[in-house]
Amino acid sequence: MLPPNKPLFRLLWGGLLLPLSLSASLALAAADLTFESAEQVNEGKLHFLEVIPDKPLHHHQNRIRIDSDSLSSGWVSLSQCHDNLDAVPRAQITFREGFVRDLRVDTFTHIEDAWIEGASVQLRNVEPGARLCLSAQTRALRNNGNGYFNLQNGPYMRKFFDGYYPMRVSLAIDYPAQLLTLIDIAPAAQPGLELDERPGAIRMDAVFEGELMTLIQFERP
């Protein structure tokens, strides 16, 4: 058990609000002296940033691969990396029970230790400039019937009490173009949110404050 004087920094995954979705919730540990001042926090709704802040941002990167089996099972392959993690004594990345399997830590740097506990990745002594990469299978593709499928991600956030700090999220989604046709991506491309779409591949890169939810809709041709 974590001693009461040790804050815990949590990154939550696995659709806590929406079924069959991925989500990330980042909360600042009170004793993290490397964070920006509280005056810099954003208390508003989602706001995309046209100008990237000077300070290194927590960069959350996800690569999701949908294959033919995913259409019947809902399971997709996930590779996830975090760059510039915030420096805290303890942290954890948790996935929704029953929606993750084959979870493993692939690499980590500037972190004293990282290990798997059930449906979570536990981190000890995260230093400035830390990087973590992990992989798993997640049940994230939802079959809506009549040949329609949803891939919903979020909410992504870097939260401090009731406000938010800037972060960057990159998504790379590969899918079988012979089995699925892209219908729509939300939010739409705009300043601070870049989208690149071609048959079989979707790339998204966003810099923002607040909570970001994404929804990608497919149909079978």
- How does pLDDT run across 26-67, given as a tens digit for each residue? 333 323 333 444 445 555 589 999 988 888 899 999 999 999
Three-class SS of residue 192?
coil
Ramachandran quadrant class, 16 (left: phi over 0; alpha: psi -120 to 50; beta: rest): alpha
pLDDT at residue 49 in the model: 95
3-class SS shares of the chain: helix, strand, coil, % to 5: 5, 60, 40
Helices (H), the chain: 70-73
Q: Residue 120 in contact with residue 169, Cβ under 8 Å?
A: no
Q: Residue 157 in contact with residue 27, Cβ under 8 Å?
A: no
pLDDT at residue 157 in the model: 84
Delineate the domains of the chain, giving CATH numbers in brackets.
Answer: 9-219 (2.60.40)
Q: How far apart are CA 128 and CA 22, in angstroms?
A: 26
Specify the pTM: 0.80
> How large is the average pLDDT for residues 180-188?
96
More confident residue, 86 or 181: 181
pLDDT at residue 188 in the model: 94
pLDDT at residue 25 in the model: 35
Q: How far apart are CA 110 and CA 116, in angstroms?
A: 18
- How does pLDDT run across 95-127, given as a tens digit for each residue? 888 899 999 999 999 999 999 999 999 999 999
Q: Please state, as a whole number, how many other Cβ atoms lie within 10 Å of the Cβ of residue 111.
A: 20
Q: How far apart are CA 6 and CA 170, in angstroms?
A: 31
